[in-house]
Chains A and B, each alone.
Chain A
Amino acid sequence: MTRWLTLVTFLPLVGVAVLLVGRGLPPRAARWVALAVSLATFVVSLGMLGRFDPAVADFQMVEEAWWVRSIGLRYLLGVDGVSLWMVVLTTFLVPIAVLASWNVEDRPRLFMACLLALETGMVGSFLALDLLLFFLFFEAILFPMYLVIGVWGSERRIYAAVKFFLFTMFGSAFLLVAILVLHARSGALPGGPTFDIRAMAELDLPIATARLLFLAFLVAFAVKVPLFPLHTWLPDAHTEAPTAGSVILAAILLKVGAYGLIRFNLGLFPEASRAFAGPVVALALVGIVYGGVVAIVQRDLKRLVAYSSVSHLGFVVLGTFVFTGPALAGGVLQMVNHGLSTGALFLLVGMIYERTHTRDLARMGGLWSTAPLLVGAFLFVALSSIGLPGLNNFVGEFLVILGAVGRSPVVGAVAASGVVLAAVYLLWAFQRMATGPTPPEHRGYPDLSLREWLVLAPVLAAILAIGVYPKVVLDRIEPTTRRVLSGVGATPVVVPTAPLAVVEEEP
């Protein structure tokens, strides 16, 4: 029996070991090692995807072993429809991030090692079914990301790196205590004290305790997502990080937070989830509108994309907490979509910056005539991010809004305004950057190189593929989201129409 999950989690660590030990390794070789290892990990994750049974709603390919008996820590991995796509998204984007950082000249060995270490931390977070194991991976992400921002970032990198570190540590402080309290309470279970989330879901907690614990988990994940008003680290971290760092932060790290909300907040505290759904939905709506409005006024292109993440992640949280089938499935799909679209946007911003050496929109212009393919790719991704039908974001956002309208038309209407705002900030940014006369200093840039094509093409293809045929993804998400929703036990609502055959609301 192949241990797919262990393999996909720890294969990148092999690369880390090679890169850290191989002191004489020339920079070229370091890049190739990182690329080879991350591609191999992607292939393994495809193997996992192939073995995944879409009909099963519960965890699959579970691997179980004792790790530290004395503190009750078990090595417990499993995959379901939610984590499956997060893992595949991670393994898909890491080789791209490696390829996008081909020009990193400063300590490339350490840089590549950090990217691969991040991959293990992120994949492990998505696959861990033991709460303490999850926390371990969750924390292990911190340090490599901190280095990536702090060492290879732009001018204010140290400020951004420390802010990122402290915000996340602050959130996870509550998480750790909550996990330990849950563990102490789990002594009442037939199997004795455990960190196993499958067993913990059966735990019958007093309402007040469960609500407190829910809030502790919420703070930890809301920092990561980020949910308004805990988002202030994000624009700094995204803007200052190097391209690969921004891609990984936006595309994957934020999803660890969103994933945590679905997996742990909904899964472990159904009553508290219902009780706090109203305020959380309100914060998500504020995030959608606030992120969009603030993105409009940004002059720094990278900061603009960063704020757009706040807005887009609002949709994910909204989808999670309105408790309707389409909304939750759409929220999960939106996690993948945002990863692809925003990841691509950061890649493109990086490529533009490498040419213009500025991120200031006011000093750009007329790029369309100098680098038409680059700008064309930007427009394509921007349209996907706005939610153009036929591209990926449309499907996810539509499902979320549809599900939200079923719960409350007002919520749906406010959320829909986020789509309008996205059109404003992205198209306006596009206009300022691409059209108009070309300033003399911005003439004569090369268009996309072969390497840049290799970086962009897979992402663009995935954006189009999900937009045209989301069924492949949704088919695997839906059984799980249905299971999660029935666990939450919210009153079902009838969603007006089911435009996609795969989206069915139970009566």
Chain B
Amino acid sequence: MRVELAPIAPELLLVGAAILVLLGGVLPRRPDPLAHLAISLAGVAGAATASVLLWSRGGAAALGGMVAVDRFGVVARLLLLGVAALALVLAHHTLARDGELRPEVPALVLFATAGMTLLAVAADLVTAFVALEVLSLSLYVLTGSSRRLASIEGAMKYFLLGAFSTAFFLYGVAMAYGATGTTSLGGIARALAGRTETPVIALVAMALLAVWFGFKVSAAPFHMWTPDAYQGAPTAVTAFMSAGTKVAAFAALLRVLDVALQPLGWDWAPVVAALAAVSVVVGSVLAIAQTDVKRMLAYSSVAHAGFVLIGVTAPGAPGIDAALFYLLAYALMIVGAFGVVALVSQGERGTSLEDYAGLYRRSPALAGLLSVFLLSLAGVPPTAGFIAKVSVFRAAVEAGYGWLALVGVLASVAAAFFYIRLMVFLYMREPTGDREPDPAPLPRLVLAIPAVGTLLLGVLPGLVTDVLGKAAVLRW
């Protein structure tokens, strides 16, 4: 049997680049961080090319049914790779500035990215588990990669709760195997579709997997680790994991729900709806009480997980389409928002709201960038966030979840309050203290990419909707 490696070429390239970076940190007498960045970016670019090449390849799954080869996977991978590229540049700049740049950081980012992309194409629960471990372990270390106490505390909480949730996942996989005799997503679906009566054990598997997904996408009430980990991690890492983990975990969630558990649609949709409602409300309400920008964005990411889940309640292509667009928009704006935070709060100090007072006077460019991201997070047109919210609400209404859309819209009003409050500080308060934002021009140019993307997708979402529409079909 000939083993074909093309379906996992992106992951192989990423891991290869990561190993090169690690070697590059040890072997030369004077390691050059810039070379590490170049190798990492080359690895990401190679992985992106390898992913694009998979676009026109049909077929269900490769490597003995372990890895899916479909357009959904290509889009999810590209999105993750884009996030990784932005995060690598940001991390390189901000960590070098704060004197905490080590070759392990880009290497771990690459390993984590490989785990994320693999999770997004996992066609078997075992592959998903492997990918998950690669991604999680890298992220635990990245979270704790700073010398600050908060960083280590965040990593510890993330690790303990993460390990706990992994147990739920494994238990869920075992139950699914018990119910259907297979761990392949397509196999589970076929086994379940043949039954007239849903076995209880399959429902238990669904519940256990839901807990794990809830943890990974930080949906309430499984979000407890999020604020601490997001606040503690170096901000560039926060940007990476807030966007990356969410995209990867949602990609896997969509595969599990719309492929493996598709025959149980009537059973899981209410569960997803309940998780979504709790998340948007809890995330928005708790974010209002925050006085730290990173914690505020962390709670808002709980709410955004809820918004994506609102789209997921619609089974099949409409829900996948809406969720994908939301993830794309979310990735752009959250990477951008944390990116600005990384530049304003040098050395991880000064992340309180007060430290953003009068940012417009100090740096109109950073204030402008942050405004674009905040408006998009709040869902104000003409930004991608607006179109994204309309898409998920529309999908939910058409799936018969009008009440959920109403809850979501009301929560986004509450959420608007804290985004707007931050903007009050940006424009309407006078600067306090003498801390200046990072003056370097390069990271601003890098952050202009998500900003332009956010506006462009807000005005011309048609640029990507065709691609997303083609990617929104999951076959098995």
Contacts and interface: CB of A to CB of B under 8 A. Distances in A.
A165 B420 contact: yes
B395 to A, nearest CB: 9
Contacts of A181: 397, 402
A68 B424 contact: no
Interface stretch (A86-94, A141-149, A263-271): A141-149
A170 interface: yes
B354 to A, nearest CB: 14
Nearest to B463: A68
B326 interface: no
Contact of A184 (B398, B462, B465): B398
A68 B387 contact: yes
Interface of B: 321, 364, 375, 380-382, 386-387, 390-391, 393-394, 397-398, 402, 405-406, 409-410, 412-413, 416-417, 420-421, 424, 427-428, 461-462, 465-466, 468-469
Given A70-B462, A180-B405, A184-B398, A157 B428 contact: yes
A137 B381 CA distance: 8
Nearest to A23: B364
A162 B424 contact: yes
Interface of A: 23, 66-71, 132, 136-137, 139-140, 142-143, 146-147, 150-151, 157-158, 161-162, 165-166, 169-170, 173-174, 176-177, 180-181, 183-184
B380 A142 contact: yes
Contacts of B406: 173-174, 177
B390 A180 contact: yes
Contacts of B387: 68, 71
Given A70-B469, A177-B405, A177-B406, A136 B381 contact: yes
B410 to A, nearest CB: 5
A180 B386 contact: no
B19 to A, nearest CB: 41
Contacts of A161: 424, 428
8 contacts: A23-B364, A70-B468, A137-B381, A140-B381, A158-B424, A177-B402, A180-B393, A180-B397
A162 B413 CA distance: 12
* Centre residue among B321, B381, B410, B417 by max chain A CB count within 10 A: B381
B381 A139 contact: yes
Contact of B462 (A23, A69, A166, A170): A69
Contacts of B405: 177, 180
Nearest to A170: B413
A177 B465 contact: no
Contact of B410 (A140, A147, A165, A173): A173
A184 B405 CA distance: 13
Contact of A68 (B393, B410, B465): B465
Contacts of B393: 176-177, 180
Contacts of A23: 364
B407 to A, nearest CB: 10
A133 to B, nearest CB: 10
Given A162-B420, A177-B402, A180-B405, A132 B427 contact: no
Per DSSP, chain A at the interface is helix
B32 to A, nearest CB: 36
Nearest to A138: B381
Contact of B427 (A68, A147, A180): A147
Nearest to A67: B462
Contacts of B364: 23
B417 A162 contact: yes
B202 to A, nearest CB: 31
Q: Which 3 A-B pairs have the closest CB atoms?
A: A70-B465, A173-B409, A180-B397
Given A151-B428, A180-B394, A181-B397, 10 more contacts: A68-B461, A69-B465, A71-B391, A136-B381, A136-B386, A151-B427, A162-B420, A165-B416, A177-B393, A177-B406
Given A158-B428, A173-B412, A132 B465 contact: no
A359 B203 CA distance: 68
B420 A136 contact: no
Nearest to B368: A20
Given A71-B390, A180-B405, A173 B428 contact: no
Contact of B420 (A71, A146, A177, A183): A146
A166 B416 contact: yes
B309 to A, nearest CB: 17
A139 B386 contact: yes
Contact of B394 (A69, A151, A158, A183): A183
Contacts of B381: 136-137, 139-140
Contact of A176 (B390, B421, B461, B469): B390
Contacts of B409: 173-174, 176-177
A112 B364 CA distance: 16
A9 B387 CA distance: 21
A177 B424 CA distance: 28
Nearest to A146: B420
Nearest to A152: B428
A136 B390 CA distance: 10
B404 to A, nearest CB: 10
Contacts of A174: 406, 409
A150 B427 contact: yes
Contacts of B321: 70
A147 B416 CA distance: 14
A142 B380 CA distance: 8
A150 B427 CA distance: 8
Contacts of B402: 177, 181
Contacts of A180: 390, 393-394, 397, 405
A155 to B, nearest CB: 12
A151 to B, nearest CB: 5
* Centre residue among B375, B386, B424, B466 by max chain A CB count within 10 A: B424
Nearest to B469: A70
Nearest to A167: B413
